[in-house]
Amino acid sequence: MARLILACLVIVSIAAAWLGYSRLTDDTYEGMSIIPEEHEDIPLYEGLEPQEHQYTLQGNEWQEVRGFYLDTFPGLGWRLVHEESALDDPDVSNDSSGFMTRWRKDGFDGELWISGGYNQFDDKTEIIFDQTQIRTQSVWLEEAPDSICIYQTEEDDHCSRTEDPDIIRVLTDFVNAGNDWEDAADLSEELAVIDFGTLEVKVAQPEGGDVFLQSTEGVKTMKPEPEFLKLLEYVVEHN
């Protein structure tokens, strides 16, 4: 009888440990559309650790991460269909704004987006892997303006203005990189209105999910990129 009780206790302990690990794993990867560790052809850059919807690495290594995938992926059958980064900008002050790549592969459903940059506030490299449908991204802003103004709501009279070229370029790039959206969109939970001078863009995030952008050009959608959301808050709080 003692042996039976001991065996039952061991089984219960193992089950409890497995459930705890399973819950930790679920929380760790919450919000991710794809988990690289589950795909042999999507290696992780050394040091990246999962943190809910993204992977993080202490310090500023986004250029090394970008180079790793540009060098490694073609040998694994991936085709690069689009790439842009802060390295394209001759202004070195913009170097922290990061990169974005889109990849396709025979047999892979949709596109794999790998994007990231350096979060100066937390001193971390933040990388997002996103499996998405193949969509178009129309250009709403041909160039970044000299200044932008951010309203917290459409009814606000006061706006927070910034002339920081790094912030303006990042927000402009995020808007242009959003996916064109043809379906109905819930725009009720408004985050901000960005006035780019030639175009006003309403930013909404229904129920804390994907972000929707609306302007006279139409509607776009994008993942809730932390850098984008933090920059909106930063401009409002500091201007």
What is each CA distance from 89 to 98, 127, 165, 173, in whole angstroms?
A: 11, 20, 11, 12
**Under CATH, to which class is 137-239 assigned?**
alpha beta
pLDDT, tens only, 168-181 = 999 999 999 999 99
Q: Which are the contacts of 31, defined by CB distance < 8 A and separation ≥ 6?
A: 52, 53
pLDDT at 6 over 80: no
pLDDT at 19: 40
Average pLDDT over the chain reads 86
CA distance 67 to 89: 17
pLDDT, tens only, 97-149 = 799 999 999 999 999 999 999 999 999 999 999 998 887 889 999 999 999 99
Residue 2's pLDDT band, with cuts at 50, 70 and 90, is: very low
pLDDT at 13 over 90: no
CA distance 62 to 96: 8
- What kind and span of H or E run contains 22? helix 2-28
Q: When comparing pLDDT for 15 and 126, which is higher?
A: 126
Q: Which amino acid is at 211?
A: V
Domain residues of the chain, as ranges? 25-134, 137-239
150 DSSP β-pair partners = 160, 194
CA distance 132 to 126: 19
Burial-class residue 143 by CB neighbours within 10 Å (0-12, 13-18, 19+).
Answer: exposed
User: For strand 99-104 and strand 111-119, is the pairing parallel, antiparallel, or unpaired?
Assistant: antiparallel
